[in-house]
Amino acid sequence: MKQDKKNFQHESIQNAKNIETILKSVADGLSNGKLQFSDEDDDIVFQPEGLMQLRLTAVQDGNHQRFTIKVSWQSDSDKLKNKSLTVES
């Protein structure tokens, strides 16, 4: 059965030290198998496991610089792989 889609998004101004702390927490969560994101508006919990896709992009446009890290995976991927499909006409 398909799960409902849930989104979490947070945007704020932080100094480099605070961002370092957040990234270390993400790294710890990946190691421990539990990532929990929350703020005063919402929360979401992930249990990452198995192989993951990593995408890193970096852009410099004049004096504007940014980088994006995207990590994705499928939960219950074994269940998805083992599902059989029948097509009849």
Specify the 3-state DSSP secondary structure of 30. helix
What pTM value is reported for the model?
0.76
Q: What is the mean pLDDT of residues 6-10?
A: 92
Residue 33: per-residue pLDDT: 95
Instruction: Determine the Cα–Cα distance for residues 75 and 50; give it in Å rounded to an integer.
Output: 9
- % of residues, the chain, pLDDT over 90: 74
Specify the 3-state DSSP secondary structure of 86. coil
Every domain of the chain and the residues it spans: 16-76
Strands 35-38 and 43-46: antiparallel
**Burial class for 61, CB neighbours closer than 10 Å (0-12, 13-18, 19+):** exposed
